Amino acid sequence: MKMMRFALGALTCCGLMVQQAAAQQTSRPSSIQGVTYKYFLDDEDDDKSAAQKGKKKAAQKAAAQKGKKKAAQKSAAQKGKKSAAQKSVSKAKCGCDDANGKGKGGSNFLNRMCTEHKAPWSLVDHGKKGKGHGISISGHTQLGWHDDGENGTGVLNSFNDNPNSLQLHQQWLTVAKAAQGGGDADWGFRMDWLYGTDGPDAQSFSNSAGEWDEAWDNGGNYGHALPQLYAEVAMGDLRVKGGHFLSPLGYESVNSTENFFYSRSYGRGIVGFIPRTVTGVQVDYTVGENLTAHGGWVNGYDTGFGSTNDSMFLGGATVALANGMDINYMLLSSDDQYAHSIAVANQLTDRIHTVFESVLRTDTTGSVQRSSDTAITLNNYVFYDLNDCMKLGLRSEWVDMGRSSEEFNAVTVGINYQATSNLMLRPEIRMDNFHSDINDASNSGGINASGRRDSTVFGFDAIWSY
């Protein structure tokens, strides 16, 4: 059975490679890039761990000093962050208008909303000043609002399930020291603290009460969480991370600054599809210029220190193809559970970037949501650069929760507007297509409840990073 799962994943990747290679014409050389968007902190932000954020410059400097290849240092494996294809966007500047008042794409009206920004303000930044060897402190504040839609719940079983309320989604604080690879052994660490309405969504809810950050709620819909606390070592092409960290599966992240959209996809939002956080060890090794191998062990889904939830193998690979396509495949497997995520990204033109993602989960333990079924999502993303400060995005989702549940769809359209170097604005419209009779047979509650109606949800958030 497991061999069939691996074969299915491999065949899916091969089919996507053939399809995308035949369809695309790209003018840019290929590279292994981080899977998630980084809109408002520049690429030299070493206060983010190199294992987490796709920061290239410090790794490239180390590579130059030690005679290592630049491509190996760009590898998402060394960043240890999901590591499929995506571009990391620098926003230290946002020069949209040329001497004639015309910038990169878009109309003059849009370009007038996009002026060159000053360098972003940040907290303690000894990672830069100490050439990557100091401790840095950074964070972000996310405020958001969304309506309740036709079902009265906003986006059920997701992070946006507190409708009609201006809320603090994330007050996020990071203390980190980046482990620089490329030669001599180096060490680092990272700790993230989170408070807000997203706090309970990022807790280790597979732990027993009182273990780690389980049930660190603070009245109403708010709570605290410690989504990451880990140490890492790096030497040459090898990086090892151990502790509690965000799940390497999935294109989207718990951290709102790493996503294009305000809302999450159902593959990320529904509890139990893929984990949000894990506790264990992840090893990343760069093989040549275009391949990174991932391996390790984690203690089950959404666990913190002290949990005995499960013992699962973690593995995968990131590949940069010659035609400009990046592919990431990550899996978790145990005796009775299996999950994988596949992300394929393409920079089709200077303005258009696409991502395909598939998430699959099987569970033979008799869980409530799956009951030995196989659940799967297929997501397509298209991003278009209107100018250097504004991006338009579309996300299309198809979700099948298993044989006892009816499939459903969702489409989200949103805009990212980089108002300043530190401020990002993200309005969006999300349309869920449930059908009136969805899941009447199972009626197990939540997303599987009977009587779900098609729903349109408008949302808007602002993120101030520092």
Pick the range with the lowest mean pLDDT from 91-100, 196-205, 433-442.
91-100
Taking all residues of the chain, what is their mean pLDDT, rounded to a whole number? 77
> 369 or 179: whose pLDDT is higher?
179
Any residues with CB less than 8 A from the CB of 41 and at least 6 apart, and which?
Answer: 48, 91, 120, 122, 138, 257, 465
State the pLDDT at residue 68.
Answer: 42
Over 90: is that where the pLDDT of 134 sits?
Answer: no
> 98 or 450: whose pLDDT is higher?
450
- The domain ranges of the chain are 2-465
CB 44 within 8 A of CB 128: yes
State the pLDDT at residue 315.
Answer: 97
Q: What is the DSSP string of 41-63?
A: S-TT-TTS-HHHH---HHHHHHH
Task: Provide the token pair at 120.
Answer: 């972003």
Residue 93 — pLDDT band, cuts 50, 70, 90?
very low
Over 70: is that where the pLDDT of 323 sits?
Answer: yes
Residue 229 φ/ψ, nearest 5 degrees? -155, 100
**Superfamily (CATH) of domain 2-465:** Porin (2.40.160.10)
Over 50: is that where the pLDDT of 310 sits?
Answer: yes
How far CA 39 is from CA of 43, 87, 140, 351, 352, in Å, comes to: 10, 10, 12, 15, 16
Question: Using CA atoms, how far apart are residues 34 and 38, in angstroms rounded to an integer?
Answer: 9
State the pLDDT at residue 128.
Answer: 57
Over 50: is that where the pLDDT of 31 sits?
Answer: no
Q: What is the pLDDT of residues 273-304, one digit of tens each?
A: 899 999 999 999 999 889 999 999 999 999 99
Residue 366 — pLDDT band, cuts 50, 70, 90?
low
DSSP designation for 438: B
State the pLDDT at residue 23.
Answer: 39
> 398 or 310: whose pLDDT is higher?
398
Q: What is the pLDDT of residues 157-176, one digit of tens each?
A: 789 989 999 999 999 999 99
State the pLDDT at residue 42.
Answer: 42
Residue 139 — pLDDT band, cuts 50, 70, 90?
very high
